[in-house]
Amino acid sequence: MNINFNSEAYSKLLSQYQPRVIKTEEENEHFLAIVEDLLSRPHLTTEENTLLELLVRLIADFENQHYQLNGSTPRSRILHLLEAQDLELSHLVPISGSIELVNKVINGHVKVTKEQSEMLGNLFHVNASLFIE
Protein backbone atom coordinates (compact mmCIF):
# COMPACT_ATOMS: atom_id res chain seq x y z
CA MET A 1 0.00 0.00 0.00
CA ASN A 2 1.08 3.57 -0.66
CA ILE A 3 3.19 5.11 2.12
CA ASN A 4 1.03 8.26 1.93
CA PHE A 5 -2.16 6.24 2.38
CA ASN A 6 -3.95 7.14 5.61
CA SER A 7 -6.07 4.18 6.74
CA GLU A 8 -7.90 6.25 9.33
CA ALA A 9 -8.90 8.89 6.77
CA TYR A 10 -10.01 6.15 4.35
CA SER A 11 -12.04 4.47 7.11
CA LYS A 12 -13.84 7.78 7.71
CA LEU A 13 -14.64 8.06 3.99
CA LEU A 14 -15.94 4.48 3.95
CA SER A 15 -18.09 5.24 6.98
CA GLN A 16 -19.37 8.45 5.41
CA TYR A 17 -20.23 7.07 1.94
CA GLN A 18 -20.82 3.38 2.83
CA PRO A 19 -19.93 1.87 -0.57
CA ARG A 20 -21.41 -1.55 -1.22
CA VAL A 21 -22.47 -3.85 -4.03
CA ILE A 22 -25.11 -1.91 -5.97
CA LYS A 23 -28.41 -3.76 -6.34
CA THR A 24 -30.91 -1.09 -7.43
CA GLU A 25 -31.10 1.79 -9.85
CA GLU A 26 -31.58 4.16 -6.90
CA GLU A 27 -28.34 2.96 -5.30
CA ASN A 28 -26.58 3.34 -8.64
CA GLU A 29 -27.82 6.93 -8.98
CA HIS A 30 -26.72 7.65 -5.41
CA PHE A 31 -23.17 6.42 -6.03
CA LEU A 32 -23.01 8.15 -9.42
CA ALA A 33 -23.76 11.43 -7.64
CA ILE A 34 -20.91 10.78 -5.21
CA VAL A 35 -18.55 10.02 -8.12
CA GLU A 36 -19.57 13.23 -9.86
CA ASP A 37 -18.94 15.16 -6.64
CA LEU A 38 -15.49 13.63 -6.27
CA LEU A 39 -14.66 14.28 -9.93
CA SER A 40 -15.66 17.93 -9.58
CA ARG A 41 -13.02 18.55 -6.92
CA PRO A 42 -9.77 20.08 -8.15
CA HIS A 43 -7.54 17.80 -6.07
CA LEU A 44 -8.30 14.49 -4.41
CA THR A 45 -6.42 12.92 -1.55
CA THR A 46 -4.99 9.45 -1.99
CA GLU A 47 -7.85 8.12 0.13
CA GLU A 48 -10.48 9.94 -1.97
CA ASN A 49 -8.88 8.54 -5.14
CA THR A 50 -9.09 5.05 -3.65
CA LEU A 51 -12.77 5.57 -2.81
CA LEU A 52 -13.40 6.93 -6.31
CA GLU A 53 -11.82 3.85 -7.89
CA LEU A 54 -13.94 1.58 -5.69
CA LEU A 55 -17.15 3.41 -6.56
CA VAL A 56 -16.35 3.40 -10.29
CA ARG A 57 -15.84 -0.38 -10.15
CA LEU A 58 -19.07 -0.92 -8.20
CA ILE A 59 -20.99 1.24 -10.68
CA ALA A 60 -19.36 -0.51 -13.65
CA ASP A 61 -20.27 -3.92 -12.21
CA PHE A 62 -23.89 -2.86 -11.74
CA GLU A 63 -24.14 -1.27 -15.17
CA ASN A 64 -22.46 -4.21 -16.90
CA GLN A 65 -25.08 -6.51 -15.39
CA HIS A 66 -28.06 -4.26 -16.10
CA TYR A 67 -27.12 -2.37 -19.25
CA GLN A 68 -25.33 -4.95 -21.35
CA LEU A 69 -26.81 -3.59 -24.57
CA ASN A 70 -25.10 -0.28 -23.93
CA GLY A 71 -21.85 -1.72 -22.59
CA SER A 72 -19.23 0.88 -21.98
CA THR A 73 -15.98 0.89 -23.87
CA PRO A 74 -12.67 2.62 -23.22
CA ARG A 75 -13.80 5.22 -25.77
CA SER A 76 -17.14 5.86 -24.03
CA ARG A 77 -15.41 6.01 -20.64
CA ILE A 78 -12.95 8.61 -21.93
CA LEU A 79 -15.77 10.69 -23.38
CA HIS A 80 -17.79 10.43 -20.18
CA LEU A 81 -14.85 11.40 -17.98
CA LEU A 82 -13.96 14.32 -20.24
CA GLU A 83 -17.52 15.61 -19.94
CA ALA A 84 -17.79 14.92 -16.21
CA GLN A 85 -14.54 16.79 -15.52
CA ASP A 86 -15.30 19.57 -18.02
CA LEU A 87 -12.21 18.78 -20.09
CA GLU A 88 -11.65 19.04 -23.84
CA LEU A 89 -10.11 16.58 -26.29
CA SER A 90 -7.07 18.86 -26.34
CA HIS A 91 -6.31 17.74 -22.76
CA LEU A 92 -5.53 14.30 -24.23
CA VAL A 93 -2.87 15.54 -26.66
CA PRO A 94 0.00 15.21 -24.13
CA ILE A 95 -1.06 11.59 -23.63
CA SER A 96 -1.33 10.57 -27.28
CA GLY A 97 1.14 12.99 -28.84
CA SER A 98 -1.18 14.69 -31.33
CA ILE A 99 -4.79 15.68 -31.87
CA GLU A 100 -4.85 13.30 -34.83
CA LEU A 101 -4.07 10.34 -32.57
CA VAL A 102 -6.63 11.57 -30.04
CA ASN A 103 -9.25 11.56 -32.79
CA LYS A 104 -8.22 8.06 -33.90
CA VAL A 105 -8.67 6.77 -30.34
CA ILE A 106 -12.02 8.55 -29.93
CA ASN A 107 -13.23 7.24 -33.30
CA GLY A 108 -12.19 3.70 -32.40
CA HIS A 109 -9.48 3.38 -35.06
CA VAL A 110 -6.64 3.03 -32.54
CA LYS A 111 -6.65 1.30 -29.16
CA VAL A 112 -5.24 2.89 -26.03
CA THR A 113 -1.79 1.54 -25.14
CA LYS A 114 -0.89 0.42 -21.62
CA GLU A 115 1.28 3.52 -21.15
CA GLN A 116 -1.53 5.79 -22.38
CA SER A 117 -4.01 4.04 -20.09
CA GLU A 118 -1.75 4.81 -17.10
CA MET A 119 -1.60 8.47 -18.12
CA LEU A 120 -5.38 8.57 -18.63
CA GLY A 121 -5.84 7.03 -15.19
CA ASN A 122 -3.67 9.78 -13.70
CA LEU A 123 -5.49 12.50 -15.63
CA PHE A 124 -8.96 11.31 -14.61
CA HIS A 125 -8.00 9.95 -11.16
CA VAL A 126 -9.33 6.48 -11.93
CA ASN A 127 -7.92 3.00 -12.40
CA ALA A 128 -5.99 2.70 -15.67
CA SER A 129 -7.65 -0.64 -16.46
CA LEU A 130 -10.80 1.25 -17.46
CA PHE A 131 -9.10 2.20 -20.72
CA ILE A 132 -7.81 -1.23 -21.80
CA GLU A 133 -9.91 -3.48 -24.03
CA angle 67, 37, 5 (to 5 degrees): 100
pLDDT, position 68: 56
pLDDT of residue 108: 83
The correct CATH number of 72-133 out of 1.10.260.40, 3.40.50.300, 1.10.15.40, 1.25.40.10 is 1.10.260.40
Within 67-98, residue ranges assigned H as helices are 74-84, 93-96
Per-residue pLDDT tens, the chain, 133 aa: give them. 556 899 999 999 999 999 999 999 999 999 999 999 999 998 999 999 999 999 999 998 888 787 654 467 888 889 889 988 889 999 999 999 999 999 888 888 889 999 999 999 999 989 888 888 7
pLDDT score, position 69: 46
User: In this predicted structure, what is the pLDDT of residue 4?
Assistant: 84
Distance (Å, whole) CA 20 – CA 3? 26
What is the full DSSP assignment across 82-122?
A: HHHTT--GGGGHHHHSSHHHHHHHHTTSSPPPHHHHHHHHH
User: What is the reported pLDDT for 133?
Assistant: 79
